[in-house]
Amino acid sequence: MMGDPDGPLPTVTTQGFPDADTWLDYARRHGFRATRSERLMRCPECGSASYSEIGQYVHYSTLSKLRLCKSCGVAYSDRRLSPDVMRAHFERAYKDERYFVKQRSRVFEQLVVLTDRCARRGGRVLDFGGAKGHFLAAVQRRRPDLKVTLIDISESACRWARETYGLEAVCGSLSALKRVAAPFDVVVMSGAQRRTSRGPATFSSRGWFTHCLQAAGS
């Protein structure tokens, strides 16, 4: 078993577990499988390599450490799962209505109040990673004067948002930003995962918000 390149030990070792032997039982019980991921060596916000560890969690067989950047204070995970894995994850998770109607309802209620407070009359709201539109539909119920736009990576979620709530929904990740007309008065990112390690998808929040928000925006 130990010599098998596809066995549990090599899988556990490559999934970020430093003391793989002690995790073997856990890995077997939970059916660990090799999952593609990349490791962040620096803060995705400011590029600093200085951090303190504040926790860890296991997701898709991968051990992720939660770090707090000592330079800018952003909390981030040191692992980015492959975009394919995340896309498939959201396609599945989005099928579960209870997740949006029950589990997320308190967060949505709070964000609706905040959005109401921040958005001027007739203003524009963008929900980046807006899933099936439950949150934006609640915003529209409270503030019918606002013009709302949703961006999400899941094609089926965007279709749902259009057909169920009549929302403007654009499918994609960061590249989808080019297809919506900025600026916005309020940008919400409650369900979004930023992909910030490197490459063309890299962006900083500051630049991103400057792109999205009006000068008087929130």
Residues in 180-199 at the binding interface with Zn ion, rule: CB under 5 A? none
* Residue placing its CB nearer to Zn ion in the complex, 54 or 107: 54
Q: Is 46 in the site for Zn ion (CB under 5 A)?
A: yes
Q: Is 48 in the site for Zn ion (CB under 5 A)?
A: yes
Q: Per CB under 5 A, which region of 5-13, 69-77, 99-107, 118-126 contacts Zn ion?
A: 69-77
Q: Is 71 in the site for Zn ion (CB under 5 A)?
A: yes
Least gap, CB of 72 to Zn ion (angstroms): 3
What is the rounded distance in angstroms from the CA atom of residue 215 to the CA atom of residue 179?
21
* Residue placing its CB nearer to Zn ion in the complex, 46 or 189: 46
What is the rounded distance in angstroms from the CA atom of residue 202 to the CA atom of residue 208?
10
What mask of x and - would describe binding to Zn ion in positions 4 to 43, judged by CB under 5 A?
---------------------------------------x
Q: What residues contact 192, with CB distance under 8 A and at least 6 apart?
A: 128, 129
Nearest CA to 103 out of 126, 77, 134 is that of 134
State the pairing for strand pair 62-69/75-77: antiparallel
Q: Is 153 in the site for Zn ion (CB under 5 A)?
A: no
Task: Answer for the pair 114, 139: CB distance below 8 angstroms, yes or no.
Answer: no
Least gap, CB of 49 to Zn ion (angstroms): 9
Side-chain-facing half-sphere of 73: CA atoms under 13 Å: 0
What is the rounded distance in angstroms from the CA atom of residue 87 to the CA atom of residue 183?
27
Q: Per CB under 5 A, which region of 45-53, 95-103, 144-152, 156-164 contacts Zn ion?
A: 45-53
Task: Answer for the pair 45, 204: CB distance below 8 angstroms, yes or no.
Answer: yes
Mapped onto helix, strand or coil, the DSSP state of residue 16 is coil
Q: Is 72 in the site for Zn ion (CB under 5 A)?
A: yes
Q: Which residues sit at the interface with Zn ion, rule CB under 5 A?
A: 43, 45-46, 48, 69, 71-72, 74
